[in-house]
Amino acid sequence: MDKLIESSKELSINVAEAIPYKNFKEMTKIVEGEVKKNRYIEIWDKAIYSADKWSVKQ
């Protein structure tokens, strides 16, 4: 049981949100806002994927 508790402390879940955009100007505004929030972002196929940055704690 102690091993299960110890290993569960190492697990983490990072959920991303998809934010659609219509044009370049809208995309840049969204990206700027997400960067100000210190979030990890990727831009794919007319959507911006944004998630909290991973933090490694030891």
**Plot region of 40 (φ>0 → left; ψ -120 to 50 → alpha; else → beta):** beta
The sign of the CA dihedral 38, 43, 20, 28 is: positive
Q: Token pair 């044009």 is at which residue?
A: 23
Closest by alpha carbon to 49, among 57, 39, 58?
39
Write out pLDDT tens, residues 47-56.
999 999 876 5
- pTM, two decimals, is 0.68
The two structure tokens encoding residue 37: 């929030």
Question: Does position 57 have pLDDT exceeding 60, yes or no?
Answer: no
Per-residue DSSP letter, 44: E
Write out pLDDT tens, residues 2-26.
454 454 555 556 688 999 999 999 9
